[in-house]
Structure 1
Amino acid sequence: MSKHLEKGRLGEQIAVDYLERRGYHILETNYRHKRMEIDIIAVHDGVVLFIEVKARSSYQYGYPESAVDEHKIEMILACADYYIDQIGWNGEIRFDIIAILLGDPPKIEHLKDAF
């Protein structure tokens, strides 16, 4: 597995652990529909959350969350629409980003209602 993919998987596991410690229930990880993917789908306080995880080992190329561009947002929104239709959800939803600076310990920033 490439370093880039290893970093991504590590970041996603850190995010899942972070969310579970805070009482979030993880519904799906790496949910895919066609060419679209959502890193984490969770529920917390009756809200379904679609969470994009971005992990970096340094700020050399900017903050992790800056990698969530308009195209990525469009893909997440489309995938979330499909998921919502599939489960018949009519309640509240939210889109978050979890930005992680890998280290010991990792620095985690949870951006709620990011887009």
Structure 2
Amino acid sequence: MAQHNETGKQGEAAAVRFLQENGYEIVATNYRYQHAEIDLIAKKGKLLVFVEVKTRSNLSYGQPEEFVSYTKAKLVMKAAEHYVFAHDWLHDIRFDIVAVTLAGANLRINHIEDAFA
């Protein structure tokens, strides 16, 4: 497996742990709809959170969250809309980014709530 794929998997695992430690229940991972994918779908009370996880092993080119493009955000929103209707979700939703930096043994997580607003 390519190194960037392994880094991404480590980042997603770290994001899952972080969210669970902060009271979120993970309801889906890698949810796909057409060409769109949502990395994590989490629930906290009556709030459903669609999470894009971005992981970097160094910050030479910028912070991980800077790599969530407008196009990616639109695809996540499209898949989220499908999920909401397919699961008859009638409560609030939010779009977050969990930015993970894996630099050697150091792990840094930046949780950005309401990132697509």
What is the TM-score normalised by the length of structure 2?
A: 0.95
Answer yes or no: is 1:95 the counterpart of 2:95. yes
Q: Which residue of 1 aligns with 2:46?
A: 46
Following superposition, the deviation at residue 45 of structure 1 comes to 2.6
Q: Deviation per CA, 1:17-40, whole angstroms, max 9, x where unpaired?
A: 111111110000011112110000
Q: Which runs of 5+ in 2 are unaligned?
A: none
* 1:114 partner SS: coil
Runs of 4+ in 1 over 6 A off after TM superposition: none
Q: Which residue of 2 aligns with 1:69?
A: 69
Following superposition, the deviation at residue 99 of structure 1 comes to 0.4
| Mapped partners of 1:12, 1:46: distance in 2 | 23
Equivalenced residues, count: 115
Q: Which residue of 2 aligns with 1:114?
A: 115
Q: Which residue of 1 aligns with 2:37?
A: 37
* 1:23 partner SS: coil
**% of aligned pairs identical?**
42
* 1:106 partner SS: strand
Answer yes or no: is 1:78 the counterpart of 2:74. no
Q: Deviation per CA, 1:60-96, whole angstroms, max 9, x where unpaired?
A: 1111001101000010000000000100011100000
| Matched residue type, 1:40 | L
What is the TM-score normalised by the length of structure 1?
A: 0.97
